[in-house]
Amino acid sequence: MIVGGGGHGLGTAYYLAAEHGLTNIAVVEKGWIGGGNTGRNTTIIRSNYLFDESIAIYEHALKLWEGLSQALNYNVMYSPRGVMMLAHSVHDTQMLKRIMHADRANGVDNEWLTPEEAKAYCPPLEIGTHLRYPVLGATLQRRGGTARHDAVAWGYARAADALGVDILENCEVTGIRRGAGGAVEALETTRGLIRTPRVGVVAAGNSSVVMGLAGVRLPLESFPLQALVSEPVKPVFPCVVMSNAIHAYISQSDKGELVIGAGTDAYNSYTQRGALHVDLHTLEAICELFPAFRRLRMLRNWGGIVDVTVDRSPIVGKTPVPGLYLNCGWGTGGFKATPGSAHVFAWTMAKDEPHPYAAPFSLERFRDGAMIDEAAAAGVSH
Ligand code: FAD
Ligand code: PYC
């Protein structure tokens, strides 16, 4: 049983069936598939992280993105248009260059652009020195880009369904029963009891609530994270631009809307919306960096709930409860990880041992102090 019908959960079910030959799999989703963070994110895909462990798992995902439409026979509209990260201070410059060198040492593409080169790659970018936060340079990962977020859920769901996976929507898990030796025995759901010896929890934002049903406490917090889109316009924005320091990130969807993301709200919550002032702050930053967009109108905004660990890295692996596996804590950055996360989690569940790329992201690292601190590369302030 997989709890959670987002991209990670549906992908896990797909790889369990496609690569491990398991046929008695079901995904239970309390709402509709893709209705969680999978369908609410700003779709940025990249693998330009700092630590070797992170680079390995995100690069594994990026390589899977490159062939995902073909593998699923479903167009997920992966578009490697390049992800640029702006430096506005000496500190930004040093940090981004450190990440760039770490990536290159791991064989992952990343390069440094001068302000003029950054503007040539993204013409709407303002690089004047009069800015409160002038652009001092940028890193560029050309293989980074975007994909259509809900197509990822639909693509994995259709491919998993074709392999015999059952997908149950409007089915909320309300209890996890444990039997002899504390092992998982059954799921209590709003549609009845489901007996099962093996459960994978992939319920982003709600992970601590679901794991609490089995008596497991998690070292993470849930926060609202918001995004918004402008009215649609003709193609004006050729890539993805992120500015961690003044906090704004932007791309243009195939429908023409400018897709803009904000930071997390400063309080914990399980509601899928946040405070308006966070969006307004983001729009101020966007208008400063891209003055041409000042007259655009906002079309709609929304929020999702992200679960964030203290080192801003995920938890993927086994738990102290026999038969219970966990995949969570991707925080503000798990969309890009979807295929890689699902792939290694399926491996972990099928073999009852952590996939090598997942092993560093165990729950035990919080006990042992083996943190993988990706706060600077997370791209979104927490
Ligand atoms: P989800 O898609 O949230 O799936 C979890 C599912 O579990 C949900 O559908 C939920 O309904 C279900 N569930 C919960 N509790 C239960 C229960 N008791 N019983 C049954 N089902 C349950 N990441 C990036 O890489 N790039 C970005 O640009 C980016 N931008 C973001 C912007 C926003 C505004 C937000 C909110 C997130 C962003 N992220 C981004 C993060 C990314 O969206 C998530 O990390 C990722 O989508 C998590 O996928 P998932 O499949 O684990 O979770
Ligand atoms: O992780 O790249 C990211 C990201 C961008 C916006 C939200 N998350």
Task: Quote the domain boundaries for residue 303.
Answer: 83-143+221-309
Apex 7 CA angle, 4 and 8, nearest 5: 70
How confident is the model over 135-145, as a mean pLDDT? 98
Supply the residue whose CA is at minimum distance from atom 1 of ligand 2: 333
Give the total number of structural domains in the chain. 2
Query: What band does 123 get if pLDDT is binned at 50, 70 and 90?
Result: very high
Counting DSSP H helices and E strands in the chain, the numbers are 9, 17
Of 41, 49, 81, 143, the residue with max ligand 2 atoms within 8 A of its CB, to mutate for a pocket test, comes to 41
- What CATH number does the domain containing 102 carry? 3.30.9.10
pTM for the model: 0.97
Please report the pLDDT score of residue 237 as a whole number: 98
Q: Are residues 351 and 255 located together in one domain of the fold?
A: no
Determine what percent of the chain is predicted with pLDDT higher than 90: 90
Rounded Cα distance between 368 and 348, Å, is: 21
How confident is the model over 259-273, as a mean pLDDT? 90
- What CATH number does the domain containing 214 carry? 3.50.50.60
User: Does residue 178 have a pLDDT over 90?
Assistant: yes
How confident is the model over 9-27, as a mean pLDDT? 97
Query: What band does 333 get if pLDDT is binned at 50, 70 and 90?
Result: very high
Cβ(44) – ligand 2 distance below 6 Å: yes
Closest atom, ligand 1, to C-alpha of 10: 51
Span from the CA of 126 to the centroid of ligand 1 (angstroms): 33
Cβ(173) – ligand 1 distance below 6 Å: yes
Residues 6+ positions from 25 with CB-CB distance below 8 Å: 1, 2, 13, 16, 17, 160, 164, 165, 166
Which of 255, 288, 309 is at the close of a domain? 309
Please report the pLDDT score of residue 12 as a whole number: 98
Please report the pLDDT score of residue 382 as a whole number: 59
How confident is the model over 141-150, as a mean pLDDT? 97
pLDDT per residue over 53-84, tens digit each? 999 999 999 999 999 999 999 999 999 999 99
Query: What band does 248 get if pLDDT is binned at 50, 70 and 90?
Result: confident
Closest atom, ligand 1, to C-alpha of 35: 9
Supply the residue whose CA is at minimum distance from atom 5 of ligand 1: 203
Please report the pLDDT score of residue 278 as a whole number: 83
Kindly tell me the burial class for residue 120, based on how many C-beta atoms sit within 10 Å of its own C-beta (0-12, 13-18, 19 or more).
Answer: exposed
Please report the pLDDT score of residue 280 as a whole number: 86
> Computed from CA positions of residues 153, 145, 277, 124, in that sequence, does the dihedral angle turn out positive or negative?
negative
Cβ(208) – ligand 1 distance below 6 Å: no
pLDDT per residue over 276-291, tens digit each? 888 888 899 899 999 9
Q: Are residues 89 and 20 located together in one domain of the fold?
A: no
Cβ(261) – ligand 1 distance below 6 Å: yes
Q: Are residues 71 and 152 located together in one domain of the fold?
A: yes
Span from the CA of 24 to the centroid of ligand 2 (angstroms): 34
Cβ(227) – ligand 1 distance below 6 Å: yes
Of 29, 37, 194, the residue with max ligand 1 atoms within 8 A of its CB, to mutate for a pocket test, comes to 37
Supply the residue whose CA is at minimum distance from atom 6 of ligand 1: 4
Cβ(34) – ligand 2 distance below 6 Å: no
pLDDT per residue over 290-312, tens digit each? 999 999 999 999 999 999 999 99
Which of 264, 289, 309 is at the close of a domain? 309
Q: Are residues 119 and 226 located together in one domain of the fold?
A: yes
Q: Are residues 132 and 177 located together in one domain of the fold?
A: no
pLDDT per residue over 182-236, tens digit each? 999 999 999 999 999 999 999 999 999 999 999 999 999 999 999 999 999 999 9
pLDDT per residue over 79-122, tens digit each? 999 999 999 999 999 999 999 999 999 999 999 999 999 999 99
Q: Are residues 200 and 225 located together in one domain of the fold?
A: no
Q: Are residues 291 and 249 located together in one domain of the fold?
A: yes
Cβ-count burial 70-82 (b if 16+ within 10 Å, e if not): ebbebebbbbbbb
Query: What band does 263 get if pLDDT is binned at 50, 70 and 90?
Result: confident
Q: Are residues 334 and 351 located together in one domain of the fold?
A: yes
Span from the CA of 305 to the centroid of ligand 1 (angstroms): 7
The count of C-alpha atoms lying within 13 angstroms of the C-alpha of 352, restricted to the half-sphere facing its C-beta, is 7
Determine what percent of the chain is predicted with pLDDT higher than 70: 99
User: Does residue 250 have a pLDDT over 70?
Assistant: yes
Closest atom, ligand 1, to C-alpha of 203: 7
Please report the pLDDT score of residue 34 as a whole number: 97
For all residues of the chain together, what is the average pLDDT? Answer: 96
Which of 285, 309, 333 is at the close of a domain? 309
Span from the CA of 378 to the centroid of ligand 2 (angstroms): 7
Q: Are residues 158 and 201 located together in one domain of the fold?
A: yes
Dig out the tokens for 30 from the structure. Answer: 């309390």
Q: Are residues 47 and 66 located together in one domain of the fold?
A: yes
Query: What band does 381 get if pLDDT is binned at 50, 70 and 90?
Result: low
Q: Are residues 19 and 95 located together in one domain of the fold?
A: no
User: Does residue 328 have a pLDDT over 90?
Assistant: yes
Span from the CA of 203 to the centroid of ligand 2 (angstroms): 19
Cβ(44) – ligand 1 distance below 6 Å: yes
Q: Are residues 157 and 228 located together in one domain of the fold?
A: no
Of 57, 85, 146, 242, the residue with max ligand 2 atoms within 8 A of its CB, to mutate for a pocket test, comes to 242
User: Does residue 52 have a pLDDT over 70?
Assistant: yes
DSSP letter for each residue of 203-260: -TTSHHHHHHTTT---SEEEEEEEEEEEPP-SS---SEEEETTTTEEEEE-TTSPEEE
